[in-house]
Amino acid sequence: MLYDRAKIYVEGGAGGDGAISFRREAHVPRGGPDGGDGGHGGGVILRCDSSRRDLGALRSKHFRAERGHRGGGSNKQGARGEDVVIPVPPGTQAVSVDGAVIDLVEPDQTAVLAKGGRGGHGNKRFSTSVRQAPRFAEQGTSGESGWVELRLKLLADAGLIGLPNAGKSSLLSRLTRADPKVADYPFTTLEPVLGTIEGDDRQVILADVPGLIEGAADGAGLGHEFLAHVERCAMLIHVVELAPSSGEPLENYRAVREELTAHGTGLEDLPELLVLSKSDLWSAADTEDQVRDWQSAMGDSVLGILAVSAATGFGLERLTETILREVPEHVAAPVAPGPGQIDVEYEAEHLTYRPKGEGGYSVEAEGEGVFRIHGSGVEVLFDRFDLNNEEALGYLETRLTEMGVMAELKRAGFESGNDIRVGEYEFELY
């Protein structure tokens, strides 16, 4: 069974805490602070692996990267946490924890699902001419985390589509070396099958998509599960049975076309080659009449109309030549990160807190003598320091003053000793 979906939980490693340390050497008075920075946490990364075929091994798994190591004395920086690399097959799509769209189509392409947290600065970073012996340091931030859904869309040049039992699998087995299940009852194909047509100077990959039925785009039958695999194709090969067991050939053709349109991803706009299968059930004269009738009905809406028989081999050579000629040789590949493009910005030496949004923050009175500060940048500041450390609180007050938060608090009626709430924190501010 082909597993083309998987839901996984990913968590980037937390950053290591900065160190609080002072230089202590014989004969070196007042050595000063020398606490090093914590290491950044590792990330959870997808890597395109051409040896992988589906996502079955990843279903409902948890992936956690290593946290960064704590900084040390003598300005020693903590080691960076190890990344967790998840191999996935070509054609895998996902949306990262921060909302970035990921589409991996080339071997060794990589993309970050969850970024690791940043390491905290050691007390050496906070030493100034007026604060020569800071006894506080930054704490590392937590990494990104959340559930991510992976989706596999097969990479094929052309897709064989049509109603169940239209003869798609038989055609694929005759045109390529693929070995799909072939039987005289509907829904013998339960998952997409790939095969390769070998030309003199090129190859074309065909995908046999399980049969569509009316209502497939809304969840009926099996086809709705696999319509996404056709989205990457450059051309559709629509197989219509000349002597169907139910319905009329033209009505069957239009039913499939309606499902392509209802899918809503532009499949109906792909170039289409119409193949009339099982022509061995008709005489040669009747088959020619059928082709002329279809040409009159279709006009220029299709690339061509060919009658074939997988049983006798009639028309297969011409079909192969047509596919090799009509499938575009250069299809624009989806934009995806290249090898090594892990845009995490881990190694920034200086971090400036600039809260997003209009004004960056807001102040709200939640009761008598209680004020809440909203703003992601302000919350990050409080996450990075120990609020039980008076020096750290003094530094925070300085930063809040520089950002204009203190002035906003006073405009809202704040008085010394009132309670302040930021995120999950609550404290009295004097």
Cα→Cα distances 115→64, 134, 219, 245, 383, Å: 11, 30, 35, 55, 17
Calculate mean pLDDT across residues 297-325: 93
Calculate mean pLDDT across residues 400-407: 89
E strands along 68-152, which residues? Answer: 84-88, 92-95, 101-104, 110-114, 145-152
Cα→Cα distances 20→132, 375, 392, Å: 13, 28, 12
**Region of poorest pLDDT, from 98-112, 264-278, 282-296, 347-361:** 347-361
Mapping DSSP to helix (H, G, I), strand (E, B) and coil, where does residue 92 land? strand
pLDDT surpassing 90 at residue 25: no
Burial 240-249 (b: 16+ CB within 10 A, else e): bbbebeeeeb
Q: Which residues contact 91 (CB under 8 A, 6 or more apart)?
A: 104, 105, 152, 153, 154, 155, 232
Residues 159 and 226: their CA atoms lie apart, in Å, by 11
Residues 229 and 59: their CA atoms lie apart, in Å, by 19
Q: Which residues contact 250 (CB under 8 A, 6 or more apart)?
A: 294, 297
Which residue's entry shows tokens 């054609």?
91
Q: Which amino acid is at 348?
A: A
**Region of poorest pLDDT, from 103-107, 190-194, 240-244:** 190-194
Count of helix runs (H) and strand runs (E) in the chain: 7, 18
| pLDDT recorded at residue 184 | 45
pLDDT surpassing 80 at residue 223: no
pLDDT surpassing 70 at residue 346: no
Cα→Cα distances 425→115, 240, 389, Å: 24, 66, 14
Count the Cβ atoms, other than its own, within 10 Å of residue 232.
19
CA torsion sign, 257 to 260 to 264 to 270? negative
| pLDDT recorded at residue 218 | 53
**Region of poorest pLDDT, from 67-81, 90-104, 137-151, 331-345:** 331-345
- Better-predicted residue by pLDDT, 117 or 351: 117
Q: How long a stretch of residues is the chain?
A: 430
pLDDT surpassing 80 at residue 311: yes
Residues 386 and 427: their CA atoms lie apart, in Å, by 12
Residues 41 and 37: their CA atoms lie apart, in Å, by 12
Residues 321 and 276: their CA atoms lie apart, in Å, by 16
Calculate mean pLDDT across residues 404-427: 90
| pLDDT recorded at residue 333 | 44
Angle of helix 376-383 versus helix 390-403 axis, rounded to 10: 160
Q: Which of 97, 100, 99, 111 is nearest to 146 (CA)?
A: 97
| pLDDT recorded at residue 134 | 94
Rg of the chain, C-alpha, whole Å? 32
pLDDT surpassing 60 at residue 401: yes
Mapping DSSP to helix (H, G, I), strand (E, B) and coil, where does residue 54 land? coil
Calculate mean pLDDT across residues 382-396: 88
H or E element in which residue 198 lies? strand 193-198
Domains of the chain with CATH codes: 1-152 (2.70.210.12), 158-326 (3.40.50.300), 362-428 (3.30.300.350)
CA angle 56, 62, 64 (to 5 degrees): 135
Calculate mean pLDDT across residues 104-108: 91
What does the block give as tokens for 67? 């946290």
Cα→Cα distances 34→74, 77, 352, 388, Å: 5, 11, 22, 22
**Region of poorest pLDDT, from 5-9, 112-116, 209-213, 398-402:** 209-213
| pLDDT recorded at residue 332 | 46
| pLDDT recorded at residue 342 | 39
| pLDDT recorded at residue 225 | 61
Tell me what percent of the chain is helix, strand and coil, each rounded to the nearest 5.
25, 25, 55
Q: Which of 309, 263, 240 is nearest to 153 (CA)?
A: 263
pLDDT surpassing 60 at residue 237: yes
| pLDDT recorded at residue 216 | 45
Angle of helix 316-326 versus helix 168-175 axis, rounded to 10: 80
Cα→Cα distances 167→37, 185, 199, 268, Å: 65, 11, 23, 21
How does strand 110-114 pair with strand 145-152? unpaired
In the chain, the percentage of residues whose pLDDT exceeds 90 is 48
Q: How many CA atoms lie within 13 A of 199 on its CB side?
A: 16
Strand partners, 422: 425
Helix ranges (H only) for 278-315 are 284-298
Q: Which of 232, 224, 221 is nearest to 328 (CA)?
A: 232
Residues 32 and 189: their CA atoms lie apart, in Å, by 73
**Region of poorest pLDDT, from 62-66, 78-82, 313-317, 401-405:** 401-405
Residues 69 and 144: their CA atoms lie apart, in Å, by 17
